Amino acid sequence: MPREVAFQRCIDPACAATFGIREILNKCPKCGALVDVAYDENKLRLPKKLSGLGVAPKELKGLAATSGVWRFHQLLPFAPAGKVVSIGEGRTILAAGAPAAEYAGMKPGRLFLQYEGLNPSGSFKDNGMAGAFTHARMVGAKMACCASTGNTSASLAAFAAATGLMKAAVFVGSGKIAIGKLSQALDYGALTYEIEGDFDDAMRRVVEVSADLGLYLVNSLNPFRLEGQKTIMYRVLEGLGWQVPDWIVCPAGNLGNTSAFGKAFEELYQLGLIKRKPRIASINSTGADSFSVWWNDGRMRWNDHKFDRALVDRRYAKLDSRELKTNTIASAIEINRPVNLAKGLRALAWTDGLVRAVPDEAILDAKAVVGLCGYGCEPASAASVAGAKFLVEEGVIGRDERVVCIITGHHLKAPDVTVGYHSYTGEKFHHKFGEFGIRAAKLPNVPVRLPNDRAAIVAELRRASGR
């Protein structure tokens, strides 16, 4: 049988079973490993040079013709260009971020912010959701579901409402979802379920329930999600005039981004479109740092899928017994059982990458710096800038290397955290999620209280502006 341009393949090299593109697989039916979307290189229609990428094919219809995902259709042609789904995602920018460069200790002009907050639902998730929805439509799904720390659910809800193609059911951990994200799922009309427990609990249940009921799962276990997320890297390259940066620094939760970014560069490299790959730095919060602990303390590596599973089992046992607690203000990455662990390890092997963990205090200060760049972000996103600073201080990232920090989510996802930080004058930072060990906010912008009096206001502005 002639093979189609796209198919699915088990990521374990010892199995490498292949499956048709219309199958719904969250894992390999033969061995249980994750699966990739793969392409027959000889059937891809590619430009000779990298700079020829990103030109929207003529067949794209409606909003898809404006999509920052689908104009790279040549590199993710698992559905015909005329049949892809879009809500106008991926029209995002690479910003200079001078204050962030300075903060991280980089030379001017060497650190960039890839600002994914510009997506319709306000986070990078819309890139992947365009892929997952396209596949969901291919297979005739009627209802899609996900577990979420808030952004996947907002994105799924937005796609379901804006396209009218299917219903959405979202599962979130009780109480641990940023207010902006919860408001989106409710506003866009998704069935919204708060499961007792945290994200990891909700994730486990949604995998079971979707199998029980035949619902289409759009978490990043779904390989079509990751295809859409590859395009973030194509836009980074485009933003850099098609030059490859030295480092991509991204927050790490379920490791969907880490996995997708690694795949994007490995494919470009295999296709001969780039001559070298950037190194990927995957950044956990210290409040949910399984990946960092496994990588740095346990020396866990990809090792052709034979990574040390005993380390995983040991940590999960500690999490089950509550000996280990998960808690971070960066609620989006409050994830200690990353579903894409194997693909994440593979991505770091492909890109000579690494993992670090940064504390909440560093995340919140870095978040304030991203705000000062004129592109605010939610706490989890700032792990990238905090991580870059950490790696510069460690001497791992050179001051004149070229670094791109992925700003994954919009500032208005968690405005309560922002206002709390900037109003902070006390000993402890209080938030409804709990109390966070922040000794002092480095960059507070405390609102000034003034009497309702013209002279007093003039006097204050005179003082502040030195006039």
| Angle at the Cα of 42 from the Cα atoms of 38 and 46, rounded to 5 degrees | 90
- Rounded Cα distance between 273 and 234, Å, is 11
- Rounded Cα distance between 111 and 385, Å, is 9
In the complex, minimum distance from the CB of residue 151 to ligand F0G, in angstroms, rounded to a whole number: 3
The contact set with ligand F0G (CB under 6 A) reads: 123, 125, 148-152, 220, 251-258, 332-333, 335, 378, 380-381, 408-409
φ, ψ at 461 (rounded to 5°):
-70, -35
Minimum CB distance to ligand F0G smaller for 84 or for 355: 355
Q: Closest Cα to residue 239, out of 115, 131, 410?
A: 115
Looking at residue 428, the DSSP 8-state letter turns out to be S
What residues are paired with 114 via a beta bridge?
A: 94, 406
Q: Closest Cα to residue 309, out of 318, 317, 300, 320?
A: 300
φ, ψ at 283 (rounded to 5°):
-115, 115
In the complex, minimum distance from the CB of residue 45 to ligand F0G, in angstroms, rounded to a whole number: 29
Minimum CB distance to ligand F0G smaller for 57 or for 344: 344
In the complex, minimum distance from the CB of residue 461 to ligand F0G, in angstroms, rounded to a whole number: 37
Minimum CB distance to ligand F0G smaller for 60 or for 190: 190
Q: How many CA atoms lie within 13 A of 370 on its CB side?
A: 35
The answer to whether the Cα torsion of 223, 225, 228, 230 is positive or negative is negative
Look-up of token digits 């030295």:
246
In the complex, minimum distance from the CB of residue 334 to ligand F0G, in angstroms, rounded to a whole number: 9
In the complex, minimum distance from the CB of residue 203 to ligand F0G, in angstroms, rounded to a whole number: 8
Minimum CB distance to ligand F0G smaller for 150 or for 420: 150
In the complex, minimum distance from the CB of residue 199 to ligand F0G, in angstroms, rounded to a whole number: 7
In the complex, minimum distance from the CB of residue 26 to ligand F0G, in angstroms, rounded to a whole number: 15
- Rounded Cα distance between 438 and 52, Å, is 48
In the complex, minimum distance from the CB of residue 453 to ligand F0G, in angstroms, rounded to a whole number: 42
- Residue 93, H or E segment: strand 93-95
Q: Closest Cα to residue 300, out of 242, 353, 245?
A: 353
Minimum CB distance to ligand F0G smaller for 7 or for 124: 124
Minimum CB distance to ligand F0G smaller for 151 or for 418: 151
- CB within 8 A of 440, min separation 6: which ones? none
